[in-house]
Amino acid sequence: MKFPRLGVNIDHVATLRQQRGENYPDVTRAADIVLAAGAHQITIHLREDRRHIQDADVPSVHKMCSHFDLPLNLEMGCSDEMIEIAILEKPEWVCLVPEKREERTTEGGLDVLSPFNFDRIKLACEKLKKFSPETKISLFVECHEEVLKKCVEMPIDAVEIHTGDYARDFQDSKDISHHLKSYKKLKKIIKNAGLGYHAGHGLTLSSLEPLLKEKIFEEYNIGHWIISESIFLGLGPVVKEMLALINKYPLED
Ligand code: PXP
């Protein structure tokens, strides 16, 4: 039986590290734990402003993925600098995303409808395919008919549907049926072109389930919720470990 793949985005392990300028928590150690737990790939986003993942993390996380013989999915903006990095690193997947410095997280999908942007993205894909032919490419886009029809004109391997609005509506207990309907309906455009149909952004354990039930996507990339939840699952044992150390050293003999 075939099941959907889970890519775990570990950007926010780096967020915590960068917040204090320390060398912990170690992103590569996080990749090790995630892959040892059975996840199917690691996703990291090297942002232009380097707010979380740093350049040195990319080869280090990639090496850990290779150790498990599993893919690294490198998310990046469509700039010359990023395409050069991808060509040097040759990750198994590159996911091209829109990037604005002022945004808190990736807001919305790539604009493939404006001819200028379409050409820019297509050129970037062609360059990647030429200099790193083994690297598969996905485009992070909104689930709109015109958008997906433009995507299939590009030399890509998959689209990743931005599930942010769906996830927000789910969190707010609003109707989600229209999202599910369009994800299912427009899947045909992508499958007819022989491409992969991936999803990500804002998903939680609860909001993932309706998508799984409907058997919509083949791959999910999930980060913020997994890292957040791991605080609660890990906090107790870590405090116990520290108390065990403290309790070895009474103040008076
Ligand atoms: N997929 C893409 C393309 C993203 O940009 C992000 C956020 O970096 C994710 C998946 C993961 O989103 P979240 O952290 O909200 O689960």
Q: State which ligand 1 atom lies nearest to the alpha carbon of 97.
A: 3
Q: How many domains does the chain have?
A: 1
Residue 232 within a domain: yes
**Nearest Cα residue to atom 5 of ligand 1:** 106
Residue 130 CA from chain centroid, whole number: 24
Residue 253 within a domain: no
Q: What whole-number distance in Å separates Cα of residue 151 and Cα of residue 197? A: 12
> Which residues sit with their C-beta closer than 6 Å to ligand 1?
9, 11, 45, 75, 95, 97, 105-106, 140, 160, 200-203, 221-225
Q: What whole-number distance in Å separates Cα of residue 17 and Cα of residue 102? A: 20
Q: State which ligand 1 atom lies nearest to the alpha carbon of 202.
A: 15
Q: What whole-number distance in Å separates Cα of residue 91 and Cα of residue 223? A: 19
Quick one: tokens of 214?
């409907």
Catalytic residue of the set 52, 75, 89, 142: 75
Contact (Cβ atoms closer than 8 angstroms) between residue 58 and residue 42: no
**Nearest Cα residue to atom 9 of ligand 1:** 201
β-sheet bridge partners, residue 7: 41, 221
| Residue 45 among the catalytic residues | yes
- Give the helix/strand (H/E) hosting 240: helix 224-246
pLDDT of residue 184: 98
Q: How far is the CA of 67 from the centre of ligand 1 (A)?
A: 24
Q: How far is the CA of 243 from the centre of ligand 1 (A)?
A: 36
Residue 161 within a domain: yes
- Dihedrals φ, ψ of 168, to 5°? -65, -45
pLDDT of residue 105: 75
| Residue 241 among the catalytic residues | no
pLDDT tens for the chain, residues 1 to 253 = 999 999 999 999 999 999 999 999 999 999 999 999 999 999 999 999 999 999 999 999 999 999 999 999 999 999 999 999 999 999 999 999 998 767 777 778 999 999 999 999 999 999 999 999 999 999 999 999 999 999 999 999 999 999 999 999 999 999 999 999 999 999 999 999 999 999 999 999 999 999 999 999 999 999 999 999 999 999 999 999 999 999 999 999 8
Q: What whole-number distance in Å separates Cα of residue 236 and Cα of residue 253? A: 28
Residue 252 within a domain: no
**Nearest Cα residue to atom 3 of ligand 1:** 140
| Residue 75 among the catalytic residues | yes
Residue 251 within a domain: no
pLDDT of residue 99: 85
Residue 136 within a domain: yes
Q: How far is the CA of 202 from the centre of ligand 1 (A)?
A: 7
Contact (Cβ atoms closer than 8 angstroms) between residue 143 and residue 121: no
Domain that holds residue 237: 5-246
Q: What whole-number distance in Å separates Cα of residue 34 and Cα of residue 26? A: 13
Residue 46: give its domain's CATH number.
3.20.20.70
Residue 69 within a domain: yes
Contact (Cβ atoms closer than 8 angstroms) between residue 139 and residue 156: yes
For the stretch 207-220, pLDDT in tens is 999 999 999 999 99
